Structure 1
Amino acid sequence: MQTSSVFEPTKRSAFLDVYRGAAVLLMMIFHFCWDLRNFGFMEFSIYDPFWVYFRSLILTLFLSAIGWSTYLALGRASSQSFWKRDIKLFISAAAISLATYLAVPDQWIYFGILHFIFIASLITRPIAQWPILSALFGAIIIIIYHTTNWLHFPNAFSTITSYIALPQRTLDIVFPFPWIGVVLVGPLLGYLNWHKCPIPNNPIIHILAFMGRYALPIYLTHQVILFALVAAFKMVLTLIS
């Protein structure tokens, strides 16, 4: 079986693209199930352990890839390239906020995954050039979060929403802890050259790599398409029943 670590001619890491693409695929499955639940085709609570861990897996893949790609970009990208990426993330996060505010003003997204990625990218960039130190800080944050209550801040959300006119419920929110720790661990994956790992060169891998390469536009559009498809299917069933 042929293997590859880099896809020509982009010189991108195939392994990292597939890694990110797997996160995109899982995210689409998660949102598709949410849409099915919303229209009554499935019944489950998003607070059930399975769905909590499923979401955590998706976040772990996405956020570790952020730190990982930041480390790799530091060696070849200019500061202008970083600012272009930052501006793109900022505009995308703002678009998500605006779209959800217009669609569901009582649950609009004001600090979801894109907002967090934008902030985390800025925080991680200065320390990513020292991947071992970065990973050490990240591991300490994760360990403290999971072994103590020091970084939980259970009343922070209600306190913030009591002072700022934000909805008590939101369609998506990513709290800083422990997730900034996951981002900080990411540069270590680049330092260990995981992006050079060979992978099978077949159509499935190429599809995942494509999804990873265009993760942002897929994120911005996939839920609109999935929601519309499920809604249309529900409408057809209602008309013929």
Structure 2
Amino acid sequence: MAEIARNARSGGPEGRPGSPAERGRIDTIDVLRAIALLAMAIYHFTWDLGNFGYVPRDMATSGGWIVFARCIASSFLFLVGFSLILAHARGIRWRPFLVRLAQIVAGAAAITLVTLFVTPDSFVFFGILHQIAFASLAGLLFVRVPWFVSLPLGVAVIALPFVYSSAIFDPRAFVWIGLHATAPFSNDFVPVFPFFGVVLLGIATGRLTVDHDLLRFVRRIDPKLGPLRRLAPLGRHSLAFYLLHQPLLFGLVFLAAQVAPPDPALSFARDCRQTCLATQDEAFCARYCACTKTSLDESDLFTALMQGQIDETQRQSVRQITERCSFEAFMDSDRPQSP
């Protein structure tokens, strides 16, 4: 996502190793970063459409979309690790590193403050920028480590949360580590485990590339990029793009909702039916969704729920309504139907 150094650079003149600062940027890496940025914009735009009810509300957080989101985050983090090696393989360049780190930390803090105000029940407290800030610092411990050490370590970091978790890590003070038993409710959550493992894989790949003078082969791709090379400037300003694109997309969808708002009742019926049909039949879902809609209206919760503006107390009330309606729909299914 955001490159750690100002320059992603290679070794010295052809045929002999040199400082990674001697050769200039690699367009191929910037283009890959730009493609990841555009994919991220597509995902966030889909989330915005769901947030305003134009598509199923959980569309961007389920099925193939969640896999898409994880692939985007992983591609950014891999490039963070790779770029860390390109910039600091021969020695840490502290000034550009600290300047870039300060920018990332400031961006992460801004995301937290904005989401705390806009969506307080699901604000971002350890998202992709927070992970990049952590990985930038922690990654420095591995820039001189041989690739055959950081590679298996990265695999282990990725695998650990799939084989071990504990409620000890559920409080917010520890949940960012990633070994929690219950995931927190957040619009963007990118914990240390397993995602720092992806950074380590990028570090291992970068270390292997620099140590064996392989960057010249990567550079040979640059002239073959064709029109894709025009994306390189976008990859060089990834942090600015990340901070600006979502407010712009969110604002555009918000304005569209003022002009041609989706029908909240239809949106609710569509979302409820889609979620319910994953585990129940059509008749059950019709009863359950009708009961839930009526009960939410009677409790004056429907509008707040559809606008994503419910607090924790209201969330508990919504949960009680859905549990009651589920029970009633189940009981009705056991009653004999009149001829």
Structure-to-structure mapping, 1:84-95, within 5 angstroms: 84-95=99-110
Equivalent in the alignment of 2:71: 57
Report whether the alignment pairs 1:170 with 2:186.
yes
Q: Find out whether 1:96 has 2:96 as its counterpart.
A: no
Instruction: Write the distance in 1 (CA, Å) between the matches of 2:52 and 2:66.
Output: 21
Q: Percent identity?
A: 32
Paired residue type of 1:101: L
Give the CA deviation at 1:188. 2.6
Deviation at 1:25, TM superposition (A): 0.9
For residues 162 and 138 of structure 1, the distance between their equivalents in structure 2, rounded to whole angstroms, comes to 21
Aligned residues: 222
Amino acid at match of 1:35: D
- Show CA shifts across 1:58-117 (max 9, x none): 011000001000001103762111111111111111111112222222222111110111
Map of 1:66 onto structure 2: 80
Name the aligned partner's letter for residue 229 of structure 2.
Answer: I
Task: Indicate how the Cα distance of structure 1 residues 213 and 232 shifts in structure 2: closer, same or farther if over 3 A, else same.
Answer: same
**Alpha-carbon distance between aligned partners in 1 of 2:198 and 2:158, rounded to the nearest angstrom:** 7
Matching residue of 2:238:
215
Contact 1:134 1:187 in 2 (8 A): yes
Among 15, 24, 49, the residue aligned to 1:11: 24
Q: Match for 2:45 among 20, 23, 32?
A: 32
Partners in 1 of 2:51 and 2:63 — Cα distance? 19
- Give 1:154 deviation, angstroms: 5.7
Task: Give 1:145 deviation, angstroms.
Answer: 4.2
Q: 2:128 & 2:64 partners in 1: Cα distance?
A: 20
Kept after mapping to 2: 8 A contact 1:128/1:187: yes
Distance in 2 between the 1:197 and 1:61 partners?
Answer: 21
Q: 1:46-195 residue pairs with structure 2 within 5 A?
A: 46-74=60-88, 75=90, 78-132=93-147, 133-146=149-162, 149-150=163-164, 152-153=165-166, 156-157=169-170, 159-160=171-172, 169-190=185-206, 191-192=208-209, 193=214, 195=218
Whole-angstrom distance in 2 between the partners of 1:198 and 1:153: 46
Tell me the alpha carbon deviations over residues 141-184 of structure 1, each in whole angstroms, 9 at most, x when there is no partner: 224445xx22x446623x33799xxxx52221112111111000
Unmatched 5+ stretches in structure 2: 1-8, 10-22, 176-183, 263-339
- SS of aligned partner of 2:121: coil
The structure showing larger relative contact order (alpha-carbon pairs under 8 Å, at least 6 residues apart) is 1
Contact kept in structure 1, 2:142 and 2:203, CA below 8 Å: no
For structure 1, the 5+ residue unaligned runs are 1-5
Query: What residue number does 2:4 align with?
Result: none
Are 2:31 and 2:228, in contact at CA under 8 Å, matched by a contact in 1?
no
- Work out which of the residue numbers 252, 259, 263 in structure 2 matches 1:236: 259
